[in-house]
Structure 1
């Protein structure tokens, strides 16, 4: 019988949890025993009693015996190294492991003899959609980014016809038409804004226009980037320079800019320069969802709102943590979708021929499988 442990998240500001009462019930039905640290779900709206009602055992935070007996640790973000070392050799850790160039994590996994699955590396294929945690969380970030912008903006989003005259709708420019960008489009359109979208991939035009937004055609160059594995490829410096020039005029007329352009494992492309900010009107708002990766916009600061000559720059990192109930529910379902096929007749085993497992299994029993990600260039 696989023994699952759901810990209290230790990363500052993390309000999500890796399991809900519903997913605990599902894991128990698959033949697992589940332990939940007391208070682990409170920040996301799930009380201890709800877990115990579904059959989970409530344990003290950091209880050494519980950690040492756990076969599978489900987390949102990886616990500190000293906590991971409490797990027994061969235990599996599953979560958003921040694997890129994370040599410290690799060392801990090796020394403790642990296995680990990083959800960031899940292949972007159709079969993986129900387990795709990056998409489920990006969807929330895109939604919340528009709400933040609408709250900070000095004008209405929709067009209004009043006795005092007609109010024109806000113009919103969204950079990046991935999951977060498309949800931002849908949310901004529901609020009545006129929405424009810029993306380096011409192929997303149909998706953008199906949501009622207007697609800004990429500049004509010989090296237009496409996508690989469902992610945008890194664009060349020449292409990005041409795109920035194109965006400058759009942003000069914009009320809101939502920045969502990210490339996994690499610094986010700088799309909005200081010169472009200088052309934006006082009262305009920029929400930068890529701020934790260096930012698409100059001068944004993670978790802060900066007033730059009247333009509000919102560093929108960790936005799923501001909607923790639904963020946790979706994330927990992602984990069930990924792990359910590995659990049969009360037994747990990893099928390394399964491309979903093979793609995100970064370590197995202390042996690093994805050194290209964890310690690039080490060899």
Structure 2
């Protein structure tokens, strides 16, 4: 049981900051994780704020960020042993090895991707040592933030679907042509209307679907929506208490997983020889699935079936699984049904999926925190990204962006972490006045007493 925080410790802002390097750990057993949580520019921002920042020797080396760049930003360079001691806050991308965590001072705080459901031992060690853990992956917008571009895209899609006369939304088969970064809201609106089918095509089909929408057409419709209508939309729909993750690289995760799956499906010698021959089905339509969709279109995949809740019900789902060369799971299920409800089952490997089919899981998990793909119990790692069972290739890499997007994802993480520390959430001011979004992500340590009893701990399985 953890001891209560004293008044001085509760009110103390974070001043002595340590930036740790990645080493072998429960989440990094093969040493493939080499990214660093903060770039030199982020360290410089912390130093200007008045923080004393120490960086572990060689922390950014694999990203081309030398110790000299960090010292030029105002940091000191320390050994691994020293880095975890005498710090108020230690920042690390993935959770550290348990013996590193045990080096930290009681009452100090670790800020990392903690994954408490997947690695509960880390929480046990932290509680025993009196160390607080704030899990980066569990911090969410508080309240939800919907950008103007997202709202306009949703409204534009609603207008375009409403213009199809004589059909209820659930009777429509919708085809979206091309891809646009600003079309996320429109895609989600179409998916949530539970159409008969939802496809993303590289070009317009010879035999049009019931309604065919080009992403360019959607952007034009969105541009015509007046600011007053966007404001009215917000007035009618108050933001939810919590929105999407604040620290993530879900788009890069989706792109990396889809790229790996496409390349594997083409080189395994079981069928398609070119991207436009691939049959791809995508389970889910959230941020990580949108990244996978982006990569499929970039690669020249001719047709992607986006499976909504309606399409993932059996026997509808079986039809897609039987005909697909590549199945990409981007659907993250609620914690209550993980391990009891699956979209792709063990039986599907034997009797539904054809030999040579590639199944890519973008969500990830482990034996204590299952994904929607039953055959995948433990996530793989970049050094051995896939396994084969019954002739089906299964991949669920812990750290997908390492396969092609390491630098981009590290830069995104650095910007987002800096924002959480110094901007909206002001985590740098300490845990005493932390926002509700931060307190939901507090998963271990004596500061747990700061979280109101009505405030649940956030839960997530996403990599």
Q: TM-score, normalised by structure 2?
A: 0.61
1:77 and 1:97 in contact (8 A); partners too = yes
The equivalent residue for 1:233 is: none
How far does the alpha carbon of each residue in 1:87-114 deviate from its partner, in whole angstroms, 9 at most, with x for none? 2232221111122386544443344333
> In the alignment, does 2:366 pair up with 1:288?
no
Does the residue aligned with 1:126 lie in a helix, a strand or coil?
A: coil
Partners of 2:257 and 2:99 lie apart in 1 by 35
Flag the 1:131–1:4 CA change in 2: closer, same or farther, 3 A: farther
Does the residue aligned with 1:62 lie in a helix, a strand or coil?
A: helix
Partners of 2:396 and 2:344 lie apart in 1 by 14
Does the residue aligned with 1:74 lie in a helix, a strand or coil?
A: strand
Does the residue aligned with 1:100 lie in a helix, a strand or coil?
A: coil
Flag the 1:83–1:314 CA change in 2: closer, same or farther, 3 A: closer
Q: TM-score, normalised by structure 1?
A: 0.74
Question: Gaps (5+ residues) in structure 1?
Answer: 160-168, 201-217, 220-239
Does the residue aligned with 1:16 lie in a helix, a strand or coil?
A: coil
The equivalent residue for 1:320 is: 401
Partners of 2:346 and 2:402 lie apart in 1 by 29
> In the alignment, does 2:213 pair up with 1:196?
no
What displacement does 1:129 show?
7.3
Q: Given the alignment, which residue of 113, 129, 141 partners 1:96?
A: 113
How far does the alpha carbon of each residue in 1:299-330 deviate from its partner, in whole angstroms, 9 at most, with x for none? 34632423344432223332133332222211
The equivalent residue for 2:435 is: 354
Q: Given the alignment, which residue of 146, 151, 154 partners 2:258?
A: 146
Number of residue pairs aligned between Structure 1 and Structure 2: 321
Does the residue aligned with 1:75 lie in a helix, a strand or coil?
A: strand
1:28 and 1:55 in contact (8 A); partners too = yes
Q: Given the alignment, which residue of 54, 63, 76 partners 2:93?
A: 76
Does the residue aligned with 2:297 lie in a helix, a strand or coil?
A: helix
What displacement does 1:248 show?
0.7
Does the residue aligned with 2:137 lie in a helix, a strand or coil?
A: helix
Matches within 5 A, 1:111-150: 111-124=128-141, 125-126=143-144, 132-133=246-247, 136-150=248-262
Partners of 1:84 and 1:302 lie apart in 2 by 23
The equivalent residue for 1:3 is: 16
Q: Given the alignment, which residue of 324, 327, 339 partners 1:254?
A: 324
The equivalent residue for 1:305 is: 386
What displacement does 1:272 show?
1.4
Matches within 5 A, 1:13-32: 13-32=32-51
Flag the 1:106–1:275 CA change in 2: closer, same or farther, 3 A: closer
Flag the 1:87–1:302 CA change in 2: closer, same or farther, 3 A: closer
Flag the 1:186–1:111 CA change in 2: closer, same or farther, 3 A: same
> In the alignment, does 2:60 pair up with 1:41?
yes
Does the residue aligned with 1:188 lie in a helix, a strand or coil?
A: helix
Q: Given the alignment, which residue of 344, 347, 352 partners 1:272?
A: 344
Matches within 5 A, 1:57-68: 57-63=76-82, 66-68=83-85
1:67 and 1:87 in contact (8 A); partners too = yes
2:138 and 2:245 in contact (8 A); partners too = no
Q: Given the alignment, which residue of 166, 169, 181 partners 2:289?
A: 181
What displacement does 1:339 show?
1.0
1:20 and 1:329 in contact (8 A); partners too = yes
Cα RMSD (Å) of the superposition? 3.1
> In the alignment, does 2:419 pair up with 1:337?
yes
